[in-house]
Structure 1
C-alpha cells in the first residue's frame, strides 16, 4: 500500500503554556511519514519563506493546520501563511493547480465546552461553521476538506484525564492518514473526526 505524506503546520504563540497542543505536536513528530512544522518557531518575525513553504506543499499529500481556536479563528501566523504562500498561479487561478487533490483538515482545541459551540449555545455556531473560511480556502485551491479534529474544554482536559485519550486518537488518525486507511467520503461528511474514528479509519494498521 502506498504511503501518504502528511504535513502539519502548527501555530501556537505560547507553546510553553500549552497543555494540549504542544503534546499533540510532540507526538506527531515521531510518526514516520509526518512532517511537523512549528510556524512560530521557524518564523518569529513572520518573515515566511514562500518558496520553502510552497515546496513543502508540493511534497505532501495531506495538509493539516494545528492550532488553538483564538477569537473564533486561527492564530495570526496561519493567516499570514495563507496570505503569502497560497499565491495566484500556485494555489488558485487557471494555472494554480499545485494543491489539487490533496486532503486538508484542521486539528484544533477550544477552551469552551462542546455545548457552547452550537446554534443555541454561548458561541452561536458550531466549530465546523466557524471554520467555513478555511473550508472555502480548501475548495478554491482544489483540496478535499475533511471534518476537524477537535478537543473541547481544553483548559481542563489534562486534569480531567482527557488529554492522553485525545493524543492517542490523534496518533491513530495520523497513522491512518499516512497509510491511506481513511474513508474520505465519511471524513468529509461528519461534524468532527474525533467522534467518528471507528467509522472513518479502515483496515488494520500495518
Structure 2
C-alpha cells in the first residue's frame, strides 16, 4: 500500500516530536513524506500537484501539532483548496473514494486533559470530529488516531519508542495502538 504522510508544522526544524517522527518515517522508502510548510512557504498551494499526489497513494496520514483544537492554518487552507467540489466530493467528486485517511497529532497537554473531566473537557476523538466528517465526505476510511500527548515531558527514550510505534501505525494502522 502506497502511503503518503503530509507533515504540517510551521516550525518543523524546532519541533522535537514532529521532526523525530519525520526522521523515523524517512527510514522507510515505502512512505512518501510531504512537508506543506517547506513546499509552500508563501502559502500558495499547487492544487493540481497536491491532487495528483493524493491520487497516487492509497493511505494518507495528516501529521500535525494540535493548535487551538484544530490543525495549523496551512493544513486548513490545503483542505479548503485541494479537497474541492467535483474532485473530492459532490457530483463527480470521487477521486479519494476507498483510500484511507489518518491523523498523527502531537499535543502540549497531558493525556488526562483530553477527557470529559479534564482541562479541555473533550476527548481527542471528539475534538477531531470535523476531520472525521471530512473523511466521510470525501469517501475515505478514517483510521484510528495516533496521538502523543504532553510533548514537553516526553523523554528521549520515550520519544524514540513512540517514533517506532508511529511508523508501525502508519504502515499498519489497524494492528497498532498509539
Tell me, yes or no, if the aligned pair for 2:60 and 2:100 is still in contact at 8 Å.
yes
Structure 1 residue 173 displacement after superposition: 2.0
1:102 aligned partner: 99
Matched, 1:13 2:27: no
Structure 1 residue 147 displacement after superposition: 1.7
Q: 1:164 aligned to 160, 172, 178, which one?
A: 160
CA offsets, 1:127-146, max 9 Å, x none?
11110000000000000111
1:25 aligned partner: 22
Q: 1:90 aligned to 80, 87, 90, which one?
A: 87
Structure 1 residue 151 displacement after superposition: 0.4
Structure 1 residue 94 displacement after superposition: 2.2
Q: How many residues align?
A: 178
Structure 1 residue 15 displacement after superposition: 1.4
Q: 1:60 aligned to 50, 57, 62, which one?
A: 57
Structure 1 residue 87 displacement after superposition: 0.7
Tell me, yes or no, if the aligned pair for 1:139 and 1:145 is still in contact at 8 Å.
yes
Structure 2 residues not aligned, in runs of 5+: none
1:175 aligned partner: 171
SS at match of 1:45: coil
1:124 aligned partner: 121
CA offsets, 1:29-56, max 9 Å, x none?
2212211001000000110000000001
Q: Distance in 1 between matches of 2:127 and 2:15?
A: 22
Give the root-mean-square deviation of aligned CA atoms.
1.4
Matched, 1:37 2:26: no
Q: Distance in 2 between matches of 1:133 and 1:102?
A: 18
Which runs of 4 or more aligned residues in structure 1 lie more than 4 Å from their structure 2 counterparts after TM superposition?
A: none
Tell me, yes or no, if the aligned pair for 1:68 and 1:74 is still in contact at 8 Å.
yes
Tell me, yes or no, if the aligned pair for 1:108 and 1:150 is still in contact at 8 Å.
yes
Structure 1 residues not aligned, in runs of 5+: 188-192, 195-206
TM score, norm. by length of structure 1: 0.83
Structure 1 residue 69 displacement after superposition: 0.5
